[in-house]
Amino acid sequence: MKKISRALVTGCAGFIGSHLTESLLQDGVEVVGVDCFNDNYGRGAKLRNLERAGDWDSFDFVPVDLSRGTVPDLVADVDVVFHLAAEPGVRASWGPRFDTYLRNNLLATQHLLESCKGWPDTQFVYASSSSVYGQAERMPTSESDLPRPFSPYGVTKLAAEHLCLSFCDNFGLQSVALRYFSVYGPRQRPDMAFDRFCLALLDGAEIEVYGDGLQTRDFTFVADVVRATRLAAESSRAVGNVYNVGGGSQIGLREALELLEEISGVEARVQYQPGQDGDVRDTGAETVRAREDLGFDPTTTLGEGLRLQFEWVAEERQRVGLPARRSARPRAPAT
């Protein structure tokens, strides 16, 4: 296992990046955190994500836009680069914003890889996405199944994966790509389903669901994702490979909503909307490779993870002083 003393985390102010940063700091790792505060959601929320990391003297934050050029000084003395910075979201990747996805997902990755060329011993862990699979023909989907992205976002994530592995093959950079499946938990982006659902339940507001709600996802709790990401950074066996990171809890969206109703004690008022371009019907991760090579097994059940997310949303909502829009409707007791 590789010992990590100092790490670079890109996207450190984001949902997953902030959790990864804190996990490393708690274990005595010095962290250089990079974020450009792109406008996919509010800067204030991202700054709150960094509050705990800021308590450590071993955390150094550098506000930089990786798409603007190489950053050799930032990678010169780190053991691992965790590249989580990206432009997220399937639905927004169509049309005029595609250049933003090219810049933040592809060009930024290329600049970071070029920066690392002079330090081939550096482990480079790239955060990819299950979106590279598109409408997968087989469930659960394995890493050997042919990727066929169903959205421009998925196209850019797959292209960046190939860049990482080409730098591995050509220059010996110790790259590994992780395909995250439907990550949820505290600090989830405000445009994502569970964050919206939790807020709506707290406010007694209507929940918009795109599609019929029967679509399934392999939901993965953020702490499990962080653990898989760190395992990939410590393993020499991982170099040059791609791994699925799934939560082992493939479930329909309606079933997930029922769990949130039980947790909140509130009956959901759901408005079903037409499905959105780029949204796939189902996702499911085969994680045999990650278990065998990395020793990764998810440990958080969907029910427990949703409870933790709901509690966090409620606390955060109170902390930032968001008033309820209307009174919630209590959920009818089970009979």
Ranges of beta strands (E only) in 137-292 are 174-180, 183-184, 206-210, 216-218, 220-221, 242-245, 250-252, 269-273
Provide the phi-psi class of 11: left if phi over 0, else alpha when psi is between -120 and 50, else beta.
left
Q: What percent of the chain has pLDDT over 90?
A: 90
Q: Is residue 308 part of a domain?
A: no
* pLDDT of res. 330: 46
Total structural domains in the chain?
A: 1
Residue 81 predicted with pLDDT over 50: yes
| Tens-place pLDDT, residues 98-127 | 999 999 999 999 999 999 999 989 999 999
Q: Is residue 266 part of a domain?
A: no
| Tens-place pLDDT, residues 5-57 | 999 999 999 999 999 999 999 999 999 999 999 888 889 999 999 999 999 99
**Mean pLDDT throughout 51-76?**
96
**Mean pLDDT throughout 238-261?**
96
- Domain with 107, as residue range(s), is 6-181+221-248+284-300
* pLDDT of res. 317: 86
In the residue annotation, 153 being an active-site residue is answered as: yes
* pLDDT of res. 331: 53
Q: Is residue 92 part of a domain?
A: yes
Q: Is residue 147 part of a domain?
A: yes
Active-site residue, selected from the candidate residues 41, 133, 153, 184: 153
Structure tokens at 105: 């997902």
- On average, the pLDDT of the chain sits at 94
Q: Is residue 205 part of a domain?
A: no
Q: Is residue 190 part of a domain?
A: no
Contact 19, 221 (CB under 8 A): no
Q: Is residue 127 part of a domain?
A: yes
Q: Is residue 73 part of a domain?
A: yes
DSSP secondary structure string for all residues of 16-78: HHHHHHHHHHHTT-EEEEEE---TTS-HHHHHHHTTTGGG-TTEEEEE--GGGS--HHHHTT-
* pLDDT of res. 327: 38
Residue 76 sits in a domain whose CATH number is 3.40.50.720
**Mean pLDDT throughout 287-297?**
97
Contact 225, 231 (CB under 8 A): no
Residue 296 predicted with pLDDT over 50: yes
